[in-house]
Structure 1
Amino acid sequence: MDNFQIETAQNVSIQQNAAGIGERILAYLIDLLIIIAYFIIAVFIISVLHLDYGDEWAFWLILSLPPFLYFILWETFWDGKTPGKAAMKIKVAQLDGSRPVFSNYLVRWLLRLLDITLAFGGVAVVAILLNGRGQRLGDMAAGTTVISERQRVRFNQTILVDIPEDYIAVYPQVTVFSDAEMRKIKTIFTEARRDADHNIILELSKKVSALMDITPQEKPLQFVDRVIADYNYYTQKL
């Protein structure tokens, strides 16, 4: 699995997990099984109804149209997911982290013919392996990728910090945050401090203090650091 950096709408750089090639293949196979199951059921129903030969065009429409539109319809109306993608906890996303629009889905769907259908997936696999952002040709043209929604948390991404026994907390309001929210705050703060990006630290401080409905008593860097420590203090007491 490749990690790549994307820029959010708030100009905050975060790391995103590109879905692994194995996950994408399994997702495709699940979707393919669903399409095959639909085809078998449709043929069975049509044969049972004994419809006239003059309705043959309708038969082919019923058999071919849903499978033909399967991927673009599911991804458009289900936040970049198909049943196979949902089962593997992956989805289509734009490189900037925002939700794709219909034109993005349309471009990657149109190029599916070249990427997957005609080449039996070979072109897509090679492109994904070489690209580094999990993009097949359709994704490159559409400005999208397929990301994993699974949380892969390294130790340095956890909310845990060392708290001295005589530690005195300052902000009880930190309990408004969930573990996931505090983990995100800590990750952004750690990366911004590592990169000496004071603008991000300042914006993070403003956002955190607004959510806590308080006026910070320290400078932005010390404030966010204190918030993380206070959160650990209060959650470890529970």
Structure 2
Amino acid sequence: MQKIEINTTQNVSIEFEAALLRDRVLAFGVDFLIMGGASLIISIIITIAFTSTAEYLYYFFIVPIIFFYSLAFETLNHGQSPGKRVMDLKVVKLNGAEPRSSDYVMRWAFRMVDIYLSFGVLAAIFIGSSNKNQRLGDMAAETTVIKIKPTRTLRLNDIININSIDNYQPVYPEVKKLSESNMLLVKSVIERYKAFPNQAHREAVHTLAVKVKEKIKVDQDTNGDLDFLQTLIKDYVVLTR
């Protein structure tokens, strides 16, 4: 699966899973069904209730639904249309900032070229070939689409392996008070610090170490924050296996 690194304005790099072309197509399909269903229901109501002026009302009600559907939902729902929400996708800015209304308008303006006039072929080519899975609208708006939830849920046993643990003596038996999700967070913070050893991640390691010590009631020791967290992971695996 392709990962996307987004550098925030605070110079912190955050890694996201890029939305696959398949997921984006399925999200579009869900949106198309919703849009088509709503248009059909409204057209039936108009035909029955306003026979004489039905033709004008079609343009007044149905055309805006088809034309502004994606723009309205993404702007009002923080980068998610109903289809994207179903598929756990979201539009984000590459600089880590919240997309502005003008960004959504830019993406929407290119839909005619990316999707409708080329029957989606142009969008598929650009998404499949670009480094950040962007169609033309994304490139113009400096956005991309990510998966909010990872495709595969990791377990602690999947991300850490201790080869010789039979003779290992846990240093912090209190670690059993923590849950597996807590330890996954610890592991994630350590990995982010090692990949990007900047001040922001250094502070994150320190803050996490302090919070964990408070939670499991461990006195301040001579070990550094990073060593403390790494030892916790080893202890957790030994004591819960």
**TM-score normalised over the length of structure 2:** 0.80
| Corresponding position of 1:190 | 191
The letter for the 2-side match of 1:167 is Q
Tell me if the contact between 1:174 and 1:227 (Cα under 8 Å) persists in the aligned partners.
Answer: no
The answer for unaligned runs of 5 or more in structure 2 is 215-219
Tell me if the contact between 1:157 and 1:183 (Cα under 8 Å) persists in the aligned partners.
Answer: no
The letter for the 2-side match of 1:140 is M
* 166-175 or 16-25, which deviates more: 166-175
Q: Take 2:84 and 2:63, find their aligned partners in 1: how far apart are those partners?
A: 22
The answer for unaligned runs of 5 or more in structure 1 is none
Which residue of 163, 167, 170 maps to 2:169? 167
Q: Take 2:187 and 2:94, find their aligned partners in 1: how far apart are those partners?
A: 23
Partner of 1:167, secondary structure, is coil
Give how far 1:146 is off: 0.8
Q: Map of 1:41-56 to 2, 5 A cutoff?
A: 41-53=41-53, 56=55
Give how far 1:129 is off: 1.2
Q: Take 2:157 and 2:129, find their aligned partners in 1: how far apart are those partners?
A: 28
Partner of 1:91, secondary structure, is strand
Identical residues among aligned pairs (%) = 30
| Corresponding position of 1:31 | 31
| Corresponding position of 1:18 | 18
Q: Map of 1:1-238 to 2, 5 A cutoff?
A: 1-8=1-8, 11-53=11-53, 56-151=55-150, 152-153=152-153, 158=158, 160-162=160-162, 164=166, 166-170=168-172, 172=174, 175=177, 179-193=180-194, 195=195, 197=197, 199=199, 202-212=202-212, 214=214, 215=220, 217-232=222-237, 236=240
The letter for the 2-side match of 1:75 is E
Tell me if the contact between 2:193 and 2:202 (Cα under 8 Å) persists in the aligned partners.
Answer: no
Number of residue pairs matched? 233
Q: Take 1:143 and 1:102, find their aligned partners in 2: how far apart are those partners?
A: 13
Q: Take 2:8 and 2:55, find their aligned partners in 1: how far apart are those partners?
A: 51
**Aligned-pair RMSD on alpha carbons?**
3.1
4+ runs deviating over 4 angstroms: 153-161, 163-166, 173-176, 198-201, 213-216
